[in-house]
Amino acid sequence: MTKLIVFTDLHMTAEGTTIIGLDPFERLRKGIEHVNLHHADADRVIITGDLTHRADHASYLRLKRLLSTLLPPAAITIGNHDNRGRFLEVFDAVAPDEHGFVQQAIDFPDCRVLLLDTLFAPPYDYPASHAGLLCERRLTWLDRRLAEAERPVLLFMHHPPHPTGFTGMDSIRLVNEAAFYETVLRHGNVRHIFAGHVHRTIGGSHRGIPFSIFKSPVHQQPMPFDTPNPSLSVDEPGAYGIVVLTPEGLQVHTEDYEIARRDCVIA
């Protein structure tokens, strides 16, 4: 049974800087230590974008050094806080697709994993490029990878491809939802969609396909739903996802590793 660990929205910053007083390096370091201790048997650690906060060279280098301490192998794609060219320059072992997008297919015995690049850039025209996009080339790549799949498919992407109920974040979700779902539903083999971007733990289904969205290791999206500003952040425990394939389907867990305890007692 394939076991996947999912991190999203790492928002790494340069040394000596923080986000709302939180150190992304230290928070992620604790998450990696937790994975190495409890999930070293994972088949892959999948990281779904917003690798850095400002897409600067120093932050990518700092992140690369930290990710090198992971025991399971990692697979990475990018989000709206990233710069595709700068990422590929630093993470030179990552092979983009034939058009330069940070996408890949990974086959396991019981599933095919597809990582999608939803960065709506270049140009890096903020705030417009904070929304997500799968252009015709990327949709064609997805269409082909789905057509050739011989097992159930799991999609991993940064931007949710549909509304989540958070007003501000929904304004910068994937902009071509209809084209995405037309491609996905044409094949009927996508079993689950995984995303980040919203910095909350959300689960449900859309157009008949289950989805899961995970929190960040660093800062989270505040409640309630109807906040129009997508930049608001709160200090809540960091988390990662655990996905386990089973003979009948799959299970999705969330580990709030900063407050997780194993020294339990019988009540």
b or e along 51-62 (b: 16 or more beta carbons within 10 Å of the residue's beta carbon)?
Answer: bbbebeeebbbb
Chain-wide mean pLDDT for the chain?
96
120 occurs within a structural domain: yes
142 occurs within a structural domain: yes
103 occurs within a structural domain: yes
SS3 assignment, position 61: helix
Cα angle value 20/21/24 (rounded, 5°): 90
Q: What is the pLDDT of residue 106?
A: 98
266 occurs within a structural domain: no
232 occurs within a structural domain: yes
Task: Classify burial at 112, counting beta carbons within 10 Å of its beta carbon; exposed 0-12, middle 13-18, buried 19 or more.
Answer: buried
Tell me: the pLDDT tens digits for 211-264?
999 999 999 998 878 878 888 889 999 999 999 999 999 999 999 999 988 877
Sign of CA dihedral 197, 77, 106, 148: positive
Q: What is the pLDDT of residue 74?
A: 98
DSSP string for 147-211: HT-SS-EEEE-SS-SS--S-HHHHTTSBS-HHHHHHHHHHH--EEEEEE-SS-S-EEEEETTEEE
265 occurs within a structural domain: no
Residues of the chain with pLDDT under 70: none
DSSP string for 107-146: EETTEEEEE---B--SS--TTGGGSB---HHHHHHHHHHH
Q: How far apart are CA 146 and CA 153, in angstroms?
A: 7
263 occurs within a structural domain: no
What is the residue type of 104?
A: Q
Cα angle value 236/165/242 (rounded, 5°): 50
What is the residue type of 77?
A: T
pTM of the model: 0.97
Q: How far apart are CA 158 and CA 77, in angstroms?
A: 8
| Residue count of the chain | 267
Q: What is the pLDDT of residue 240?
A: 98
Instruction: State the total domains in the chain.
Output: 1
Q: Which residue segment(s) compose the domain that 181 sits in?
A: 3-255
Q: What is the pLDDT of residue 230?
A: 84
Q: How far apart are CA 55 and CA 231, in angstroms?
A: 16
In order of 56, 100, 101, 197, 261, the CA distances from 85 in angstroms are: 11, 9, 10, 20, 40
7 occurs within a structural domain: yes
For residue 173, the number of C-alpha atoms closer than 13 Å in the C-beta half-sphere is 20
Q: What is the pLDDT of residue 6?
A: 98
* Contact between 6 and 194 (Cβ < 8 Å): yes
Q: What is the pLDDT of residue 229?
A: 84
* Contact between 200 and 213 (Cβ < 8 Å): yes
Dihedral pair phi/psi, residue 90, rounded to 5°: -80, -45
Q: What is the CATH number of the domain that holds 101?
A: 3.60.21.10
